[in-house]
């Protein structure tokens, strides 16, 4: 599933291509995604101008001039393709998952602008679209989410207070969108490795200094991943045919049985299943 950095890259691709464009036509080929696309979806979008392409956590937010709009969650396999009507695109994918070329099947939603067609493809159909009519409704959509790692609300006071007396392990908290929004399995492993914190440590046992490390490295790891174009876990590319390269900087993720990369550390990277997710950590330096 795309995490915050990958969704941010998609957002930037869309911002360049469809901002200030007017929607000319909407075609829903399959309404049966994770949540069924409602019958008024086409009417909600028709003739609206895209004023802003925003993002919160792992969600894309497309906002119209009247502050209504719609939200897209890519789920496990959702991809967005932009096809130029007047050109034969070599690469159409705005993200780094699955084929960079528009597949022939599973194109569930098409949104047409003057010269560009926005196509949502999803083989497993775990993604979804959700509409809103104003800022209040949009805010309500994310009322149960915690702050993003880049938000000023995600600070040391918030972290220490939230984790105080919590029995659950810290890896699960980093994946809990009610605690912090946007961090997924890959980046949680990387953040804890750099912080030298074992993923199975109970949250209540973390020191204030360790909480400061989580605060610092959450921001740094995600920022670096965005700068690197996200993580292309499989050999696929973005809309310009360029791969995200953060996977080359993985310090721990998918490095099971390899030596720890920290200087003078004699540890070996281990893999442990935590809440049905693969966690990677150093057996020696992550305490």
State the CATH number of the domain containing residue 21: 3.20.190.10
Using a pLDDT cut of 70, give the percent of the chain over it.
92
Judge whether residue 234 has pLDDT over 50. Answer: no
203 and 106 share a domain?
A: no
- CA 59 from chain centre, in angstroms, equals 7
102 and 18 share a domain?
A: yes
**190-226 per-position pLDDT tens digit:** 999 999 999 999 999 999 999 999 999 999 999 998 8
Whole-number mean pLDDT of the chain?
91
Q: For 166, left (φ over 0), alpha (ψ -120 to 50), or beta? A: beta
Domain that residue 74 falls in: 4-141
Could you give the number of structural domains in the chain? Answer: 2
Residue 276 forms part of a structural domain: yes
113 and 169 share a domain?
A: no
Q: Please compute the mean of the pLDDT values over residues 173-192 and round it to a whole number.
A: 96
Instruction: State residue 79 phi and psi, 5-degree precision.
Output: -135, 150
126 and 184 share a domain?
A: no
Q: What is the 3-state secondary structure (H, E, C) of the chain?
A: CCCHHHHHHHHHHHHHHHCCCECCEEEECCCCCCCCCCCCHHHHHCCCEEEEEEEECCEEEEEECCCCEEEEECCCCEEEEEEECCCCCCCCECCCCCCCCCCCCCEEEEEECCCEEEEEEECCCCCEEEEECCHHHHHHHCCCCCCCCCCCCCCHHHHHHHHCCCCCEHHHHHHCCCCCCCCCHHHHHHHHHHHCCCCCCEHHHCCHHHHHHHHHHHHHHHHHHHHCCCECCCCCCCCCCCCCEHHHHCCCCCCCCCECCCCCCCCEEEEEEECCEEEEEECCCCC
10 and 122 share a domain?
A: yes
CB distance 174 to 192 below 8 Å: yes
CB distance 106 to 121 below 8 Å: yes
- The CATH number of residue 231's host domain is 1.10.8.50
Residue 90 burial (10 A CB sphere; 0-12, 13-18, 19+)? exposed
CB distance 23 to 47 below 8 Å: yes
Two tokens, residue 71: 């939200």
Judge whether residue 94 has pLDDT over 90. Answer: no
Of 13-22, 57-66, 100-109, 203-212, the least confident: 100-109
pLDDT given at position 100 = 82
211 and 100 share a domain?
A: no
Q: Please measure the distance between the N-terminal and C-terminal CA atoms of the chain and give it in whole angstroms.
A: 28
57 and 178 share a domain?
A: no
pTM above 0.75, yes or no: yes
Residue 216 forms part of a structural domain: yes
Instruction: List, by residue number, the catalytic residues.
Output: 2-3, 58, 277
Of 36-45, 87-96, 192-201, the least confident: 87-96
Residue 258 forms part of a structural domain: yes
């Amino acid at each position: 599933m795309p995490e915050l950095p990958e969704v941010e890259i998609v957002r930037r691709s869309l911002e360049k291509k469809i901002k200030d464009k007017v929607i000319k036509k909407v075609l829903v080929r399959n309404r049966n995604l994770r949540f069924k696309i409602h019958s008024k979806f086409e009417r909600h979008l028709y003739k609206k101008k895209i004023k802003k392409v925003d993002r919160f956590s792992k969600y894309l937010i497309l906002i119209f001039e009247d502050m209504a709009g719609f939200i897209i969650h890519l789920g496990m396999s959702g991809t967005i393709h932009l096809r130029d009507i007047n050109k034969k695109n070599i690469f159409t994918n705005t993200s780094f998952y699955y084929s960079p070329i528009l597949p022939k099947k599973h194109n569930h939603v098409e949104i047409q602008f003057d010269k560009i067609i926005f196509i949502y493809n999803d083989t497993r159909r775990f993604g979804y679209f959700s509409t809103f009519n104003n800022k209040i409704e949009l805010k309500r959509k994310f009322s149960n989410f915690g702050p993003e790692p880049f938000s000023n609300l995600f600070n040391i006071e918030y972290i220490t207070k939230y984790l105080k007396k919590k029995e659950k392990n810290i890896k699960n908290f980093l994946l809990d969108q009610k605690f912090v929004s946007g961090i997924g399995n890959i980046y949680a492993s990387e953040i804890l490795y750099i912080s030298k914190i074992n993923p199975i440590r109970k949250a209540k046992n973390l020191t204030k200094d360790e909480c400061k490390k989580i605060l610092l490295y959450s921001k740094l790891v995600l920022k670096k991943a965005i700068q690197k174009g996200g993580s292309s876990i499989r050999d696929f590319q973005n809309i310009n045919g360029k791969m995200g390269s953060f996977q080359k900087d993985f310090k721990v993720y998918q490095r099971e049985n390899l030596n720890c990369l920290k200087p003078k550390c004699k540890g070996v990277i281990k893999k442990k299943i935590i809440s049905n997710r693969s966690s990677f950590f150093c057996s020696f330096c992550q305490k």
